[in-house]
A and B are shown apart, each in its own frame.
Chain A
Amino acid sequence: MATEAQALTGDWGGGVHPYRVGHRKLGMWLFIMSDSLTFSALLMGYAYLRASNVWPTPFKFYPSIVFSSVMTLVLLSSSLTMVMAVSASARRDKSRARMWIIATALLGATFIVLHSIEWSHLIGEGLRPFQLPAEWIERWPGSTPLFGATFFGITGMHMFHVFTGCIYLFVVAARVNNLKHEDVEISGLYWHFVDLVWMFVFPMIYLLSIDPRK
């Protein structure tokens, strides 16, 4: 009887940590689940509007595609430095963990700067949340002004996540001596999630709207 019960509860084992992660880490996973649904809903809304409207495909090779590709490189590299931070923290090498976390946050800040420059190019062309530049309307007659709303909405929401992630990482770097290893790992989970979201935003927003002529 006892062995049968053990077999049934084998994976849990009846301990206080059914998932073998602390309650904070489980909380972060639950937050990531809800946040991934937020971004899914935004991207689905974008896809809905795109399928039901004439949609401009305005992104030139330079600046938009070059900038967004470099931003992707920066964000992927920041994920690598974050993994290095977590593995240094697991070895209890706090000073190296702090160095890698700061490197991650600085790469995140680089992403925000590059994205702001990319935004200012488009704003300079005349793109607004509910208004297209006159040239685009000539080129794609009847195209919807909601292009700007989805573009600024989705990339802005992502940039906001990068921004809060940077603040979070700087706080973790400052307090790394007082934090447990798992707390560093949790900040890593959030950062990797922000990177993961960009892996969908970049192809859907940028690569599907490349201007083939420029």
Chain B
Amino acid sequence: MSAHAESEEHFAGSKRLFLSVWIWLLLLTGFEVFLGYVQLPVVYMLVILMGASIVKAALIVAYFMHLRFERLNLVLTIVPAVVVCICLLLVFFPDSFRAKHLRYGLPAAADKP
């Protein structure tokens, strides 16, 4: 029992690892800002920006929040539940496209992206 209850003050990861994670996060942010000024269709922008943001979130959770060094059962308790719940929120989207067509006399946007 005592083997389980022991509290070892161990924090895995070196300064070099954290610095390189930080530099990757900055590079991805720079890429995102650059992308904002490349005139892409908004759907491509959304997909690439969300992809980069998910990579950044994964880096923060894995290394800064230390989840990569925790027990697998903690990871499996936290991550899938949140991901599934967030995906369930997408269920509202078909209605948002419908709502746009319900508006009367909608003037065209001056400059569509």
Interface residues of chain A, those whose CB is within 8 Å of chain B, are 11-22, 26, 29, 32-33, 36-37, 40-41, 44, 47-49, 51-54, 57, 65, 69, 72-73, 76-77, 79-80, 82-84, 86-87, 89-90, 92, 139-143, 180-182, 185, 188-189, 192-193, 195-196, 199-200, 202-204, 206-208, 210, 212
Q: Which residue of A13, A29, A40, A79 is within 8 Å of B64 (Cβ)?
A: A79
Interchain CA distance A17-B85 in the complex, whole Å: 26
Take A19-B71, A142-B107, A207-B33 as given contacts and tell me if A80 and B18 are in contact as well, using a CB distance cutoff of 8 Å. yes
Q: Is B70 in contact with A20, judged by CB distance below 8 angstroms?
A: yes
Partner of B57, one of A92, A200, A207: A200
**Minimum C-beta distance from B111 to chain A (A):** 8
**Complex contact A76–B90 (CB within 8 A):** no
Contact of B70 among A19, A37, A54, A188 (CB under 8 A): A19
Contact at B92–A44, with CB atoms within 8 Å? yes
Check B29–A69 contact: CB distance below 8 A. yes
A-B residue pair count with CB separations less than 8 angstroms: 169
Interface hits, B10-65 → A, CB 8 Å: 10-11, 13, 15, 18-19, 22, 25-26, 29, 32-33, 35-37, 39, 42, 45-46, 49-50, 52-53, 56-57, 60-61, 63-65
Q: How far is the CB of B10 from chain A (nearest CB, A)?
A: 7
A204, B49: Cβ atoms closer than 8 Å: yes
Residue of B nearest to A143 (CB): B109
Distance between Cα atoms of A83 and B70 in the complex (Å): 16
| Given the contacts A44-B90, A140-B110, A37 and B15 also touching, CB distance less than 8 Å | no
With an 8 Å Cβ cutoff, the count of chain B residues facing the other chain is 65
Q: B residues within 8 A CB of A140? A: 109-110
Chain A: interface secondary structure? Answer: helix
Chain B residues within 8 Å of A26, by CB: 74
User: A141 to B110, Cβ gap below 8 A?
Assistant: yes
Complex: chain A residue closest to B74, CB-CB: A19
Report whether A192 and B109 are in contact in the complex, using a CB–CB cutoff of 8 Å.
Answer: no
Among B11, B35, B56, B98, the residue within 8 A (CB) of A185 is B11
Evaluate contact between A51 and B70: CB separation under 8 angstroms: no
Report the Cα distance A26→B73, complex, angstroms: 12
From known contacts A29-B78, A51-B96, A208-B42, infer whether A76 and B73 are also in contact, taking CB-CB under 8 Å.
Answer: no
CB-defined A-B contacts under 8 Å, sample of 10? A11-B71, A15-B4, A44-B89, A44-B92, A48-B96, A65-B36, A69-B29, A77-B22, A83-B18, A204-B49
With CB as the reference atom, state the residue of chain B lying closest to A213: B111
Q: Name the B residues within 8 Å of A48 (CB-CB).
A: 92-93, 95-96
Whether A52 and B97, one on each chain, are in contact in the complex, defined by CB atoms closer than 8 angstroms, is yes
Chain B residues near A192: list those with CB within 8 A.
60-61, 64-65
Chain A's closest residue to B109 (CB) is: A54
Contact A13 B109 (CB under 8 A): no
CA gap between A207 and B13 in the complex, in Å: 32
Choose one: A84, A92, A208; the contact of B49 (CB below 8 Å). Answer: A208
